Amino acid sequence: MAIRLIKIAVVYLVIGLTLGVGMGMTHNFLFRSVHAHVNLIGWASLALAALVFHVFPETARTRLATIWFWTYNVSVPVGLGGLALVMAGQKWAEPALIVGQLGIWAAGLMFAVNIFWALRSKSVEDAPMARSPAAV
């Protein structure tokens, strides 16, 4: 799952960078909120999730992780598309914005529950970085 997530995250990175450069070149910052959300919930959140799933692979092997993956990766484009349309004055897109944002929120809760549940019997000493000579 970590490989898929990092690939998706990089797509959001390119989208966010392109949107940011485009806004800067045109001095039209109408979509600045979309730009910020693409970078944070697209690039940063997915890259961090990939890191968590790589460092703690047991968290990626749960049914809840799979449900989270699909909920998040369907909700993000729906929510961001809805946000862009609403910011462009298309009020009819508000339901997409709401559904997408609620899906992202629900996925965030799923991610948190999955991490706490899958790592419930782990201690700080069990973390891979805690065993690293560089961590001393």
pLDDT tens by residue, the chain, 136 residues: 899 999 999 999 999 999 999 999 999 999 999 999 999 999 999 999 999 999 999 999 999 999 999 999 999 999 999 999 999 999 999 999 999 999 999 999 999 999 999 998 876 566 665 555 555 4
| Any domain includes 135 | no
Nearest-angstrom CA–CA distance, 52 and 48: 6
| Any domain includes 131 | no
| Any domain includes 81 | yes
Residue 136: predicted pLDDT = 45
Nearest-angstrom CA–CA distance, 97 and 73: 14
- Residues spanned by the domain of 106: 2-119
Domain count, the chain: 1
| 51 CA to centre of own chain | 12
| Any domain includes 6 | yes
Residues 6+ positions from 34 with CB-CB distance below 8 Å? 19, 80, 83, 84, 87
Residue 127: predicted pLDDT = 60
| Any domain includes 133 | no
